Structures are given as structure tokens and as C-alpha cells.
């Protein structure tokens, strides 16, 4: 999804199927699975690009309270990430790969709203 959206592919049937699958199957925050740093990194980029209104434009008949939006995702994910951070070092040490990688990924997720890097701009 992240690659598809980065390439501007928002409206196709395949993109809609992927969005539905990801919305229903990817756990956000608690209940995440092994290698979830990769999943969180790319899924966060996708939801960031999705923003707060693109899901509704793609699925206009869905109840707004069920939309996948950046605001709802960010609130849940940011809270989770900050709870999991080691307060004495500032790192995230619970990752499967290691603390350096996990910390880099989580910091990248936390700065998406700033859109500093061109790849993360909407």
C-alpha cells in the first residue's frame, strides 16, 4: 500500500481491496506481531498519505466512524510508541531486530506529520 500510494495509485480496485484487507488485518499498537517494525513503518506511511479524508472518498458509503484515518491511527500508535519507549535511554528495546533499528523506525513514524523528507510528503 505504501508503494502504491507513493506512486499515486489511490483509486484502483486493487488499491481498494488492499486498503480493506490492511484495515481489517493489521493490528495497530497492542497485539502486533513479529517483524512488526517493518509492518508499522510501511503501514504508518500509507495511513499518513491516506490522511483523514481519502478513505471516505474511496468508500463514500461507509460510516465515517469506521474510516481508517491518520488522526485515529496516529493517536493510537503514538500513545503506544511512547508507552513502549525506555524512558532512561530514549530507545525502544522490545523490537525483534534490535534497539537501533526499532528506535530509528519508531522515530521515523513519530515525525511523519512534519513531512521533512520528500518521500513522506502528501
Mean pLDDT score, 60-78: 95
The confidence score (pLDDT) of residue 32 equals: 59
pLDDT of residue 82: 93
Averaged pLDDT of the chain: 85
pLDDT for res 68 = 95
User: Looking at per-residue confidence, does 102 or 29 come out higher?
Assistant: 102
Q: What one-character DSSP code corresponds to residue 34? A: T
- The CA distance from 118 to 95, in Å, is 27
3-state secondary structure of 117: coil
Can you tell me the distance from the alpha carbon of 9 to that of 117, in angstroms, rounded to the nearest whole number? 20
Q: What nine digits make up the cell of 116?
A: 521533512
pLDDT tier at 70, thresholds 50, 70, 90: very high
Amino acid at each position: 500500500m505504501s508503494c502504491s500510494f507513493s506512486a499515486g495509485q489511490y483509486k484502483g480496485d486493487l488499491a481498494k481491496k488492499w486498503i480493506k484487507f490492511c484495515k481489517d488485518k493489521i493490528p495497530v499498537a497492542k497485539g502486533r506481531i513479529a517483524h512488526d517494525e517493518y509492518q508499522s513503518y510501511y503501514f504508518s506511511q500509507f495511513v499518513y498519505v491516506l490522511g483523514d479524508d481519502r478513505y471516505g472518498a474511496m468508500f463514500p458509503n461507509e460510516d465515517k466512524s469506521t474510516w481508517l484515518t491518520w488522526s485515529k491511527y496516529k493517536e493510537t500508535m503514538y500513545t503506544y510508541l511512547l508507552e513502549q519507549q525506555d524512558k532512561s535511554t530514549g530507545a525502544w528495546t522490545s523490537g525483534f531486530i534490535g534497539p537501533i533499528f526499532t528506535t530509528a523506525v519508531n522515530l521515523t513514524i513519530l515525525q511523519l506529520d512534519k513531512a521533512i523528507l520528500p518521500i513522506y510528503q502528501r
